[in-house]
Amino acid sequence: MSWLDTPSIQGLVNYLDVTALREKLTAGNIANIDTPGYRTLDINFQDALQQASLGGGEASLAPRVFQVKGLIERPDGNNVGLDRESVILAGVQLEYRTAV
């Protein structure tokens, strides 16, 4: 076993995968801010991070992506809020940098 195959390293890899997924979802939300009918997508970030840290590497990591409910919807049916997405993006980038 090399030092790259340890459970700690695999846990960090999983952690980075979760933060990268949430960053991708958030960037997609921002990119679709003017798309009529677009619904904000997200994952349960804390649960996914816990799964990533506990799943020593053998389990496949696939957080459930869902539409966020309860957000203010514009007349065109879009519910993306730039303020919310910007705060999430900043937090996720900080999480990612910390893990690296």
Decide if 7 contacts 13 (C-beta within 8 A): no
The pTM of this model reads 0.85
> Which residues fall within 8 angstroms of residue 94, CB to CB, at 6 or more apart?
none
The rounded distance, in Å, linking the Cα atoms of 59 and 9 is 14
Do the beta carbons of residue 61 and residue 51 sit within 8 Å?
yes
35-74 confidence digits (pLDDT tens): 999 999 999 988 887 877 665 554 456 789 999 999 999 9
Q: What is the pLDDT of residue 45?
A: 85
